[in-house]
Structure 1
Amino acid sequence: MVSIFSVYKFILHGIMKLVGVRPQTVEIEPGTIMNFWVSSHIPNKIENTPKKSKPAVVFLHGFAMDGIFTWQLQVLSLAKNYAVYAPDFLFFGGSITDKLDRSPEFQAECVAKGLRKMGVERCTLVGLSYGGMVGFKMAELYPNLVEYIVATCSVLALTRSISDASLERLGFKCWPDYLLPDSVKGVRNMFEIAAYKFPHLPDWIYKDCLEVMFGNRKEKEELLEALVVDDKNFAIADFPQVVVLELVSK
């Protein structure tokens, strides 16, 4: 039986290419490759008119899906008027590394280096959940690159106290139990918890999700482990950027 997600992925990628958004593979360093979905730059057709570069918007995805799956509607809406970049984090989509570093700092470093290699000098970051935390690290480490940051369903960092309180409220012992389910029931619970009034779907759709969405499980477990920091090791950075933090709760 053909996976509905494989079919949808094929259709989605085709639509993106029709509107000028295409995948671009960037070698960050030997052994580390990141995939970015990038909107093409439409040349100015008016002769003798200085070409103005479009403002760059970088969409950073959460822990469930890759960049273009997560931000497809936003990318389609903004691609005409903005230079849009939707990277796949390492071990998601088409991004991979042979390095052992699993920290959000390393993800931030790789995204920043990839953007630099593509000629991005200043950008606005839009981060969801895990992407928001990586985005805050980018804003901290690369203030000359990140002009603004918008984060939703996220925190500055996942401290031990925030992590323990969140897991207790959600009813899980650890983050992989929630974000890396190994059963149809687990996938259903993940979506129903993460989304407000998630629609009822048949089990075969969740089974499809289970089969195609949770590859690189070992590496992703390590990413989640590296995400949690001790409270004593966390200090709020002095962000020079304008930060908009949107908290959404059920």
Structure 2
Amino acid sequence: MGNIFAIYKPILHGLMKLAGVRPQTLEIEPGTVMNFWVPTETNSKKSKPAVVFLHGFAEDGIMTWQFQVLSLARYYAVYVPDLIFFGGSITDKPHRSPEFQAECVAKGLRKLGVERCTLVGLSYGGMVGFKMAELYPDLVAAFVVTCSVMALNESVSDAGLGRIGFSRWSDYLLPGSVKGVRNIFEIAAYKFPHLPDWVYRHYLEAMFDNRREREELLEALVISDEDFTVANYPQRVYLLWGANDKIFDIESASNLNKQLGNNASVYHIEKAGHLVQLERPFVYNSQLKKFLASLSEDVHQD
């Protein structure tokens, strides 16, 4: 039997094309290439509001956001990049910080003609998104944050690792065994179904390329408490959270909401964990659409 994820990916990609997005490879700069899923119809790029989805650490962009793309592509110009060292995105540069990822995504969006967008970021993608919102306020109009933090400073990192019983993020996110892959999903999900070991083995074989570079990404992610400062974000920020997230729990969402001040609001989705967009896609998509619609109302009122 072939690897089920190797079989599923081309099926998923075909489904995404039917939904109205297609893959496009961009040279961000010499030595740095990113894969983006972009709107198939070029005229829709300007007529529809742009929404950019930033994935987490366990999967590439389209695997992470498949249900959201299917739900939104008809009404919005949807862009889904693979962050550097995920999917087809690579660099020969030594940079590994979220800031570098943010710069690459922003440059890619500019090349695609995106002048203004709403970001939707999950976990690692949320941290990249915060950097984008800070560095490119002219590009980022609003931001939906799911199960993430402004930055992974040491105290936040230690608390998160303590909740899931690991000492290093790479031990959790870059497993080398079937048991390790099972741990990822049992921790990240509210209630993960029982699956046979061969499913996890196929996932292990298919999803963890660029291991050394990804470990470097994780090392660059954690910063000292002294180096962390709360930036001033002019954007509206919507915290859309799995109420049962163990990695960044409800208290993390509450702390982030306080850090962001009056521009932020929070919504908890019950019976969902860190992978809320996959566990409860209908509820997630409904709340996401409400927020996106409210942005259009704000524009009309202005």
1:41 is displaced (CA, Å) by 2.7
TM-score by length of 2: 0.79
- Using CA pairs below 8 Å that are at least 6 residues apart, which structure has the higher relative contact order? 1
Counterpart of 1:111 in structure 2 is: 105
1:18 is displaced (CA, Å) by 2.1
1:19 is displaced (CA, Å) by 2.5
Counterpart of 1:4 in structure 2 is: 4
Counterpart of 1:202 in structure 2 is: 196
Secondary structure at the counterpart of residue 81 of structure 1: coil
- Aligned counterparts, 1:116-131, within 5 A: 116-131=110-125
CA distance in structure 1 between the partners assigned to 2:68 and 2:240 by the alignment: 17
Secondary structure at the counterpart of residue 239 of structure 2: strand
Secondary structure at the counterpart of residue 242 of structure 2: coil
Query: 27-36 or 160-169: which moved more?
Result: 160-169
Counterpart of 2:47 in structure 1 is: 53
Retained in 2: the 8 A contact 1:152–1:246?
Answer: yes
> How many residues are matched?
244
- Structure 1 unpaired stretches of 5+: 45-50
CA distance in structure 2 between the partners assigned to 1:177 and 1:135 by the alignment: 24
1:20 is displaced (CA, Å) by 2.3
Q: 1:140 and 1:210, CA in 2 relative to 1: closer, same or farther beyond 3 A?
A: same
1:245 is displaced (CA, Å) by 1.8
- Structure 2 unpaired stretches of 5+: 245-302
Give the helix-richer structure, 1 or 2. Answer: 2
Retained in 2: the 8 A contact 1:35–1:93?
Answer: yes
Runs of 4+ in 1 over 6 A off after TM superposition: none
TM-score by length of 1: 0.95
Q: 1:247 and 1:95, CA in 2 relative to 1: closer, same or farther beyond 3 A?
A: same
Counterpart of 2:276 in structure 1 is: none
1:52 is displaced (CA, Å) by 6.0
Retained in 2: the 8 A contact 1:28–1:113?
Answer: yes
1:72 is aligned to 2:72: no
Counterpart of 2:88 in structure 1 is: 94
Percent identity reads 73
Query: 169-178 or 114-123: which moved more?
Result: 169-178
Q: Deviation digits for residues 9-37 of structure 1, max 9, x if unmatched?
A: 01011111223210011110000000001
Q: Look up the equivalent residue of 1:22 and give its one-letter code.
A: R
- Aligned counterparts, 1:1-250, within 5 A: 1-41=1-41, 43=43, 53-250=47-244
1:43 is displaced (CA, Å) by 4.6
Q: RMSD of the alignment, in Å?
A: 1.3
CA distance in structure 1 between the partners assigned to 2:230 and 2:46 by the alignment: 36
Q: Deviation digits for residues 168-203 of structure 1, max 9, x if unmatched?
A: 221111000000000000000110100110111111
